[in-house]
């Protein structure tokens, strides 16, 4: 049986070609090492194909051989918390057609930063923004169109069921408490947290909420049943409350250490659930490695506590790539200003950090530089680990046969400290090159 | 204007000894590349290469891949036939010979998948698969160069001790020693090692127009000694190479440990003298360029007097006759003494029946038949 033939051809390459590209002379990410192997990808199926079966069964030779000259070939980066980019904030109320156009623009630009899959994130907002924006933010990779750029794997709603004392820069006036699942449906729109046909996933992939408020912990199993990830965040939860949430099915912690109680030796708080004290699985956790949110040593402690749960996120605002200055920002029921000074974002009139304006690859390089982690460890924190958290093992974040052919080619520069720094040379989406430096 | 002198060809065993495994592998790889380039293969006139698996040829494959990547050789018009494959493990099992060839050679070079032939150990009818394989080799015009390695017991392909020297492609039960030796590739679990394999036969190898064997390491030295210094013996199947008109063995110094010093010196001196005289131990040009396509008319010169050696006749069947092979051109500096026979002077009507140089034996045999 041919193993590599497409089941439903999306497009047929011209001139009788088969659309297969072979990457050779490259170091590819496999587990915790970079190995010298070839990789075959098929732009028709958009997948990484089993080369040996293609050769012996389908008698195929690749159309295109890409010699990477010893460079690194990694799965495309996965971003779990992105509030907006290139001037567009996902938490914006716009005409549907305009919103959709903006999203397409962001997707095409975002892919050039090495991010091939991401979770567009909406901060705490009034219900109408969720209801108008979320339909545009659901999983978008179904048609496997490489030219569309980065794909959404589902939206991340950060709020509004957050603890008002750990609001960060979220507007306290729009924060809510959930007593029943209906409260969630009323807030986000029932259709956005429900599968339309029992087969396609809902638009919302992840909800960040404080487990100690209302009946939130009791609602976690129903969310999990619907395929929605519950993430603990913006919370005053004690260690016991956090443990109860994990026991109920919480599998993620939103930006660990930020907007939660710090680790105290008599009450380890949310961080405590990484301690394997209970016989519970440890959740994954997001870490913002921008040099503002966390001290480098804190990042290293978190990594060493649970390397397999460590996910680098940017929590970037739409100001990424824009010049310094003060920018308007829709924040719940009012409009505030965010002051951008270099990579640092502060809420106008305060010293509160207002997200970041860092790219994911910069986080990877910070992590490499601060912790001395290996390149595979740093890349896993943005590829295989988030893919596992999202339940996308074998499809995203890996270079296994049958996975989506979302790839990044990195040059590795060694800086004066002897630490590696990765530079994005090329980005491939579904087996087609979409960016080249 | 310099005279162009035909380079002499001496049919004999070529034993090439190199200092270490790397230089021996390099010699073999370069030899194969030279052969392919001189052959100048085209889609209608491809070079047919027989290929082994195992540890011995690894260095050869590595260097061939390097040379391919450096643009020094193309495998576009090379047809390959592999020696053997296990029965009953999935084709893409990491220890299958399909996987071996893919991992070490085919994935790195431009061999056309349509030109690759490996026995299918999962064929519904294994016997038919073997018969078909032989006919595929024939359809490809025979093998131009069969590269091989050997086991410690001198086996070539899976033709283990006791295999018929007239054997052809067939299903073979593996010897317990081989299963034990291979268990290291299957988690040291003897139960997981395939017990059967498909393999080309000794005769299949001998029918190649040239056979090149690489032997590396002290472990193989006894086998090399048996094959070079002893007689043809089915317990050391490589020794059948002595029956081939164009065999070449390339080995490292370690593999010569069991050879006599004079054997080693002899073969080294042959190579040295040949090089000093300005010619390598080359093949006749008809072998080097392969059979000319039949469509091109050509003049056949005196085929009866100097028979072609393009396709060696089955040597073993000739052995079974009481007459030694006489059709290979024998060159010697001083003519050998040819004893005069009364029959030559008298003249006998049926000359064909009197070509044997040992009429006494024949008479004895005839007498036995008559008895």
Q: Which residues of A are catalytic?
A: 315
A94 in the same domain as A52? no
Q: Is A143 on the interface with B (CB under 8 A)?
A: no
Q: Is A4 domain-assigned?
A: no
In total, how many domains does chain A have? 2
Chain B interface test: which of A1, A52, A402 (most B C-beta within 10 Å): A52
CA distance A437 to chain B (A): 26
Closest CA in chain A for residue B110:
A61
Verify whether residue B153 is a known catalytic residue.
Answer: yes
pLDDT in tens, A63-86: 899 999 999 999 999 999 999 998
Please give the model's pTM, rounded to 2 decimal places: 0.80
pLDDT band at residue A282 under the 50/70/90 scheme:
very high
The answer to whether the CB atoms of B107 and A50 lie below 8 A apart is no
Domains of chain B by residue range: 14-289, 315-370
A91 in the same domain as A52? no
Which among A24, A50, A61 has CB closest to B113? A61
CA distance A51 to chain B (A): 8
Give residue A417's pLDDT: 80
Give residue B343's pLDDT: 60
Q: Is A156 domain-assigned?
A: yes
Give residue B317's pLDDT: 53
Contact status, residue B217 vs residue B224, Cβ threshold 8 Å = no
CA distance B215 to chain A (A): 28
Contact status, residue A52 vs residue B92, Cβ threshold 8 Å = yes
Give residue A5's pLDDT: 37
Q: Is A59 on the interface with B (CB under 8 A)?
A: yes
Residue that wins the pLDDT comparison between A130 and B343? A130
The answer to whether the CB atoms of B102 and A60 lie below 8 A apart is no
Least confident interval from A209-213, A411-415, B328-332: B328-332
Domain stop point among A352, A369, A389: A389
Pick the catalytic residue: B85, B98, B144, B155? B155
Provide mean pLDDT across the span A283-293: 92
Which among A51, A59, A60 has CB closest to B107? A51
A299 in the same domain as A191? yes
Closest CA in chain B for residue A59:
B113
Which among B102, B108, B112 has CB closest to A61? B112
Count of A-B CB contacts under 8 Å = 29
Pick the catalytic residue: B85, B129, B144, B153? B153
Q: Is A419 domain-assigned?
A: yes
CATH of the domain at A430: 2.30.40.10
A382 in the same domain as A343? yes
B98 contacts in A (CB within 8 Å)?
52, 56
Which among B92, B108, B118 has CB closest to A53? B92
Question: Is the pLDDT assigned to residue A431 strictly greater than 70?
Answer: yes
Mean pLDDT of chain A: 90
Exposed e or buried b for every residue in B333-361, given b needs 16+ CB within 10 A?
Answer: eeeeeeeeeeeeeeeeeeeeeeeeeeeee
CATH of the domain at A148: 3.20.20.140
A363 in the same domain as A316? yes
pLDDT in tens, A301-337: 999 999 999 999 999 988 876 788 888 877 767 788 8
Cα–Cα dist B34/B323, whole Å: 37
Assign A185 to helix, strand or coil: helix
SS3 helix, strand, coil % of chain B, rounded to 5? Answer: 40, 15, 45
Give residue B330's pLDDT: 42
- Let me know if domain B14-289 sits in CATH 3.10.20.310: no
A161 in the same domain as A28? no
Per-residue pLDDT of chain B (371 residues; tens, 9 = 90+): 444 444 555 567 899 999 999 999 999 999 999 999 999 999 999 999 999 998 999 999 999 999 999 999 999 999 999 999 999 899 999 999 999 999 999 999 999 999 999 999 999 999 999 999 999 999 999 999 999 999 888 999 999 899 999 999 999 988 888 888 888 888 899 998 999 999 999 999 999 999 999 999 999 999 999 999 999 999 999 999 999 988 999 999 999 999 999 999 999 998 888 888 766 656 666 666 766 555 555 555 554 444 444 555 555 555 554 444 444 444 444 555 556 666 666 655 555 555 555 666 666 666 666 55
Cα–Cα dist A232/B110, whole Å: 53
Give residue B273's pLDDT: 87
Which among B110, B114, B118 has CB closest to A59? B114
Give residue B347's pLDDT: 59
Cα B269 off chain centre by: 23
Segments forming the whole domain that contains residue A418: 14-74+400-436
Question: Is the pLDDT assigned to residue A131 strictly greater than 60?
Answer: yes
Give residue B279's pLDDT: 62
For residue A45, count other CB atoms closer than 10 A to its CB: 23
Cα–Cα dist B273/B8, whole Å: 13
Structure-token pair, residue B164: 């018929």
The answer to whether the CB atoms of A55 and B102 lie below 8 A apart is yes
A365 in the same domain as A382? yes
The answer to whether the CB atoms of B108 and A38 lie below 8 A apart is yes
Q: State the alpha helices, DSSP H only, in A111-194.
A: 127-137, 181-188
A50 contacts in B (CB within 8 Å)?
92
Q: Is A366 on the interface with B (CB under 8 A)?
A: no
pLDDT band at residue A9 under the 50/70/90 scheme:
very low
Q: Is A7 domain-assigned?
A: no
Give residue B367's pLDDT: 66
Nearest to A81 by CA among A188, A174, A156: A156
Q: Is A52 on the interface with B (CB under 8 A)?
A: yes
Q: Is A9 domain-assigned?
A: no
The answer to whether the CB atoms of A52 and B114 lie below 8 A apart is no
* DSSP codes joined into one string, B286-311: HHHH-PPPTTS------TTTS---SS
Question: Is the pLDDT assigned to residue A388 strictly greater than 80?
Answer: yes
Which among A24, A50, A59 has CB closest to B113? A59
A245 in the same domain as A208? yes
The answer to whether the CB atoms of A52 and B102 lie below 8 A apart is yes
The answer to whether the CB atoms of A51 and B102 lie below 8 A apart is yes
The answer to whether the CB atoms of A50 and B92 lie below 8 A apart is yes
Q: Is A395 domain-assigned?
A: no
The answer to whether the CB atoms of A51 and B106 lie below 8 A apart is no
SS3 helix, strand, coil % of chain A, rounded to 5? Answer: 30, 30, 45
Q: Is A61 on the interface with B (CB under 8 A)?
A: yes
A425 in the same domain as A286? no
A24 contacts in B (CB within 8 Å)?
108
A61 in the same domain as A190? no
Q: Is A404 domain-assigned?
A: yes
> Cα dihedral sign for B8, B12, B18, B20?
positive
Give residue B333's pLDDT: 46
Contact status, residue A193 vs residue A228, Cβ threshold 8 Å = yes
B122 contacts in A (CB within 8 Å)?
none
Cα–Cα dist A367/A303, whole Å: 10
Question: Is the pLDDT assigned to residue A425 strictly greater than 90?
Answer: yes
A147 in the same domain as A160? yes
The answer to whether the CB atoms of B113 and A52 lie below 8 A apart is no
A103 in the same domain as A29? no
Q: Is A347 domain-assigned?
A: yes
């Amino acid at each position: 049986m041919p193993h590599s033939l497409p089941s439903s051809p999306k497009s047929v390459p011209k001139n009788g070609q088969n659309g297969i590209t072979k990457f050779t002379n490259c170091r590819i990410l496999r587990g915790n090492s970079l190995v010298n192997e070839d990789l075959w990808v098929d732009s028709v199926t958009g997948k990484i194909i089993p080369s040996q079966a293609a050769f012996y069964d389908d008698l195929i030779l690749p159309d295109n051989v890409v010699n990477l000259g010893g460079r690194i070939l990694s799965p495309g980066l996965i971003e779990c918390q992105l509030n907006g980019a290139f001037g567009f904030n996902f938490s914006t109320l716009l005409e549907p057609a305009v919103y959709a156009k903006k999203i397409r623009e962001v997707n095409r630009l975002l892919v050039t930063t090495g991010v091939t899959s991401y979770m567009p994130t909406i901060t705490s907002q009034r219900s109408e923004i969720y209801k108008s924006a979320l339909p545009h933010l659901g999983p978008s990779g179904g048609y496997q169109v490489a030219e569309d750029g980065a794909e959404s794997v589902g939206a991340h709603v950060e709020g509004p069921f957050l603890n008002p004392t750990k609001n960060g820069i979220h507007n306290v006036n729009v924060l809510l408490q959930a007593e029943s699942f209906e409260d969630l449906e009323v807030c986000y729109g029932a259709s956005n947290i429900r599968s339309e046909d029992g087969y396609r996933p809902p638009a919302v992939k992840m909800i960040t909420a404080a487990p100690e408020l209302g009946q939130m912990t009791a609602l976690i199993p129903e969310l999990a049943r619907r395929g929605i990830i519950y993430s603990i965040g913006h919370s005053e939860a004690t260690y016991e409350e956090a443990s109860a949430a994990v026991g109920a099915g919480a599998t993620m912690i939103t930006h660990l250490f930020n907007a939660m109680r710090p680790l105290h030796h008599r009450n380890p708080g949310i961080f405590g659930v990484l301690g394997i004290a209970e016989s519970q699985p440890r959740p994954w956790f997001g870490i913002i490695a921008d040099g503002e949110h966390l001290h480098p040593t804190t990042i290293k402690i978190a990594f060493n506590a649970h390397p397999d749960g460590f996910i680098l996120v940017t929590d970037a605002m739409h100001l990424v790539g824009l010049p310094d200055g003060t920018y308007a920002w829709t924040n719940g029921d009012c409009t505030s200003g965010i002051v951008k000074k270099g990579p640092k974002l502060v809420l106008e009139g305060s010293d509160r950090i207002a997200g970041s304006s860092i790219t994911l690859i910069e986080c990877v390089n910070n992590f490499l530089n601060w912790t001395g982690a290996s390149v595979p460890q740093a890349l896993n924190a943005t590829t295989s680990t988030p893919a596992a958290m999202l339940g996308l093992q074998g499809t995203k974040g890996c270079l296994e046969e049958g996975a989506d052919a979302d790839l990044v080619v990195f040059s590795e520069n060694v800086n004066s400290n002897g630490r590696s720094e990765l530079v994005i040379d090329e980005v491939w989406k579904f087996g087609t090159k979409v960016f080249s430096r | 204007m310099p005279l162009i002198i035909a380079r002499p060809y001496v049919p004999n065993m070529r034993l090439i000894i190199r200092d270490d495994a790397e230089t021996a592998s390099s010699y073999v790889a370069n030899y194969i590349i030279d052969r392919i380039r001189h052959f100048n293969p085209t889609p209608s006139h491809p070079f047919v290469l027989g290929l082994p698996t195992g540890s011995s040829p690894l260095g050869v494959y590595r260097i061939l891949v390097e040379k391919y990547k450096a643009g020094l050789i193309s495998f576009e018009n090379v047809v390959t036939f592999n020696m053997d494959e296990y029965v009953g493990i999935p084709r893409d099992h990491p220890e299958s010979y399909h996987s071996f060839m893919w991992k070490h050679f085919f994935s790195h070079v431009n061999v056309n998948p349509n030109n690759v032939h490996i026995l299918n150990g999962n064929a519904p009818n294994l016997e038919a698969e073997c018969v078909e394989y032989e006919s595929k080799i024939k359809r490809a015009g025979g093998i131009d160069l069969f590269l091989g390695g050997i086991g410690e017991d001198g086996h070539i392909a899976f033709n283990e001790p006791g295999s018929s020297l007239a054997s052809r492609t067939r299903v073979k039960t593996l010897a317990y020693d081989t299963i034990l030796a291979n268990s290291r590739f299957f988690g040291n679990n003897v139960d997981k090692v395939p017990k059967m394999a498909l393999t080309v036969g000794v005769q299949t190898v001998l029918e190649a127009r040239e056979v090149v064997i690489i032997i590396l390491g002290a472990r193989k030295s006894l086998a090399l000694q048996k094959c070079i210094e002893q007689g043809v013996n089915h317990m050391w199947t490589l020794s059948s190479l002595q029956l081939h008109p164009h065999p070449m063995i390339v080995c490292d110094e370690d593999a010569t440990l069991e050879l006599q010093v004079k054997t080693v010196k002899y073969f080294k001196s042959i190579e040295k003298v040949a090089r000093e005289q300005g010619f390598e131990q080359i093949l006749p040009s008809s072998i080097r360029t392969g059979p000319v396509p039949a469509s091109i008319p050509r003049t056949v010169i005196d085929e009866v007097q100097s028979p072609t050696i393009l396709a060696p006749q089955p040597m073993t069947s000739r052995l079974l006759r009481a007459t030694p092979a006489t059709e290979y051109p024998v060159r010697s500096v001083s003519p050998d003494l040819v004893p005069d026979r009364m029959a030559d002077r008298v003249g006998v009507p049926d000359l064909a029946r009197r070509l044997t140089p040992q009429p006494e034996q024949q008479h004895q045999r005839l007498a036995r038949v008559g008895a």
